[in-house]
Amino acid sequence: MDSATQYATYPSLRDKVVLVTGGASGIGEWMVRAFAQQGARVAYVDIQDDAAAALCASLKAAGNEPLYQHCDLTDIPALQATVQRVLADFGTVDVLINNAANDMRHTLAEVTPESWDASIAVNLRHQLFMAQAVVPAMQRAGCGVILNMSSISWMIPNTGMPMYVTAKSAIIGMTRTLAHQLGKDGIRVNSILPGAILTERQKRLWMTPQYEVEVLGAQSIKRHIMPEEVARLALFLASDDSAAITGQSHIIDGGWM
């Protein structure tokens, strides 16, 4: 895309407290960058300390350093304690982005009870408990935004990772029920469904020449979709510009679906 393109600024995001899970790399990293550039106060959690340190240094040089907290989101007590530290530092959480996930490929035959539990823990369970942890502060404020990262994988449907696909489809149901439950408190809940986003992980692990042909053949837009484009969708959904949008699934896949 043209590097000279000018993108939207959202005044309503300035000074908002934004908490991003899995924010050290991939789509999450671009979420952290995008919200920091909007003047938001950003905190993020991850287990990739080296990548997180590099991201913090990069944004500090630009004058908007985020707060990084190491947290294994599959450890629910640690998750809850981390949210409390963020609340203690910032006073509230205005926007939660449930981004962290692991899209490791696997076959049906490889699934065991143990691998099932591990996949659900890293791809689904923490999203509900993160929401549970931040909602009281949002209720006190009378407003808030929760963005849950799903995927088009369950819509295609993808046949190479059944546990991941199951978790990502469940996120849609969780989004809708939370939107209806929390709307009376001024809290909006939406989900984002990316397609084949060209993150560094995708390039390293999955984007073979054969897969690239499959992706571009399926998409209406015949180019790769970049992680910063997903972040720009999140900016809109977190801002007051989308104040009437809740309980919805927002696909960003270059027209695959």
In order, the DSSP letters of 88-143 are HHHS--SEEEE---------GGG--HHHHHHHHIIIIIHHHHHHHHHHHHHHHHT-
Which of the four pLDDT bands, split at 50, 70 and 90, describes residue 4?
A: confident
Which of the four pLDDT bands, split at 50, 70 and 90, describes residue 1?
A: low
The CATH H-level superfamily of 12-252 is: NAD(P)-binding Rossmann-like Domain (3.40.50.720)
Q: Is the preceding omega at residue 136 within 30 degrees of 0, hence cis?
A: no
Domain boundaries defined on the chain: 12-252
Question: Could you tell me if 93 and 19 are in contact, meaning their C-beta atoms sit under 8 angstroms apart?
Answer: yes
| pLDDT at residue number 14 | 98
Which spans in the chain are helix H? 26-37, 49-61, 76-90, 113-120, 126-141, 162-182, 200-205, 209-218, 227-238
Tokens encoding 122: 């890293």
Per-residue pLDDT at 17 exceeds 60? yes
| pLDDT at residue number 257 | 86
- What is the average pLDDT across 155-172? 94
Q: What is the pLDDT of residues 106-155, one digit of tens each?
A: 999 999 999 999 999 999 999 999 999 999 999 999 999 999 999 999 99
Please state, in angstroms and rounded to a whole number, the distance separating the CA atoms of residues 52 and 1: 26
Helix, coil or strand: residue 256: coil
- What is the average pLDDT across 96-102? 97
Among candidate residues 103, 52, 74, 64, the one with its CA nearest the CA of residue 206:
103
Q: What is the pLDDT of residues 171-216, one digit of tens each?
A: 999 999 999 999 999 999 999 999 999 999 888 887 899 999 999 9
Please state, in angstroms and rounded to a whole number, the distance separating the CA atoms of residues 106 and 12: 42
- What is the average pLDDT across 28-34? 98
| pLDDT at residue number 205 | 85
| pLDDT at residue number 87 | 98
Q: What is the pLDDT of residues 55-98, one digit of tens each?
A: 999 999 999 999 999 999 999 999 999 999 999 999 999 999 99
Q: Are strands 17-21 and 144-149 parallel, antiparallel or unpaired?
A: unpaired
Helix, coil or strand: residue 177: helix
Just list the catalytic residues. Answer: 164
CA 160 vs CA 154, 210, 252: distances in Å: 11, 15, 21
